[in-house]
Amino acid sequence: MDSALPRRTQRPYPPRDPQPCPAPSPPRRQGRGYGRALLSVLALTGGIYLARHAHPSSLHAPSVAHAARLAGPHAHRVSPLLAATVALPPHVRVERPPVADSYLPTDTFGERSARGLNITGATSHRLILFTFDDGPDRSTTPELLDRLDAAGVHAVFFLAGDRIRGDNQQQRDQAKIARDEVRRGHLVGNHTVDHRALPTLDSSVILEQLDASERIFQDVFGERPWLFRPPYGVHSERTDYLVESHGYTIILWNLGTGDPQVRTAEDVHTTWSRVFARRELENGERGGVVLLHDTHQWSVEGFTLIYDDLMARNCKLLEEGAELYDIVDDPSLFFAARNGAPAGTEAPPADVPAAVLAARQARVREATERRCHAVAAR
């Protein structure tokens, strides 16, 4: 369960590992109006406090790439203390790979976006990536997959390993659902085995979590994942270093929905709308990474409300001749290569090459014209 994640602030070195955000309690039946209002406030603001106080500065961690070259074939086991003795390169470059025009096959396990800087979702373009955490859940995920199919949307699912490993019927069913996610063209990423806050764990336990989750992926899919989301969105320079040493790109989010804290699809949509408006007003971010959880029925229904909202906004933007909301298939448009940057360094805001943006917008505009004209003709 995670919350809305705003931009992080700088912190002095060395960082302190934050405490995990406790799971929210279900709302009481008494005083439902007051409780619902309180939950909505928590949904909107709780993650802001967490992110501002939990995220370390990205300026002081050792160079993972440089340490790995010195450590040899077992670089994923290199001690952060050893890496701290390695001098950083005098100048760290941030490069983006050539961005294809989205005609490539789906990059199911995120290898095309491996070894990148931390993705926050920041962008001045109207790019939207939907992500879902904590699943799969056999009671809710199948319906979500049907809703995504109906909308023509591909998402990223960050899977909890203990939901898809084991011999009981529920785990076997959920392993099948995870494979169905892949079959339907979605990406899958690592959300650890049992969803414990990484900064509370010893480094050896974190490495065990990464190794165990990768074995689970191998058993279920025959491949390892390359995308990672820390439980609760809580991380530190130490945990980022360990995760990045396995080749992962960490994907956070900037468009939270507060769905662990609320209990209706309408409240999920309302929280998302407020966060979305705040992002654009305060940071100039007109798109980004949306966080939802496929373990809640209200989140499944909330996805449809958010999607319908974006489509309605596109009809108005089409009339204005403005850039339209483009629901992207994978994180590659937000990707920036690590190239020796310190652990935990954030990717710069996604800036799509003009030719690629024009080609994508042309396709979105054509589809939007058909949809909006059909709606107007009813």
Catalytic site positions: 133, 293
Q: Is the residue at 38 inside a domain?
A: yes
Assess contact for 330 and 110: CB atoms under 8 A. yes
Q: Is the residue at 1 inside a domain?
A: no
Q: Is the residue at 235 inside a domain?
A: yes
Q: What is the pLDDT along the chain (378 residues), one digit of tens a residue?
A: 555 543 343 333 233 344 344 343 333 334 444 444 444 544 554 444 333 333 333 322 333 333 332 223 223 333 333 233 223 233 333 344 443 344 334 699 999 999 999 999 999 999 999 999 999 999 999 999 999 999 999 999 999 999 999 999 999 999 999 999 999 999 999 999 999 999 999 999 999 999 999 999 999 999 999 999 999 999 999 999 999 999 999 999 999 999 999 999 999 999 999 999 999 999 999 999 999 999 999 999 999 999 999 999 999 999 999 999 999 998 999 999 999 999 999 999 999 999 999 999 999 999 999 999 988 888
Nearest to 226 by CA among 190, 192, 259: 190
Helix H or strand E segment including 288: strand 288-293
Q: Is the residue at 24 inside a domain?
A: no
Per-residue confidence (pLDDT) for residue 44, from 0 to 100? 56
- φ and ψ at residue 327, rounded to 5 degrees: -85, 110
Per-residue confidence (pLDDT) for residue 4, from 0 to 100? 52
The count of domains in the chain is 1
DSSP state at residue 140: T
Q: Is the residue at 249 inside a domain?
A: yes
Q: Which two tokens stand for residue 324?
A: 């339209």
Per-residue confidence (pLDDT) for residue 55, from 0 to 100? 38
Q: Is the residue at 158 inside a domain?
A: yes
Range of the domain at 49: 32-86+105-376
Assess contact for 252 and 238: CB atoms under 8 A. no
CATH number at residue 138: 3.20.20.370
Q: Is the residue at 91 inside a domain?
A: no
Q: Is the residue at 367 inside a domain?
A: yes
Per-residue confidence (pLDDT) for residue 2, from 0 to 100? 52
Per-residue confidence (pLDDT) for residue 375, from 0 to 100? 85
CA distances from 162 to 23, 67, 190 (A): 18, 32, 11
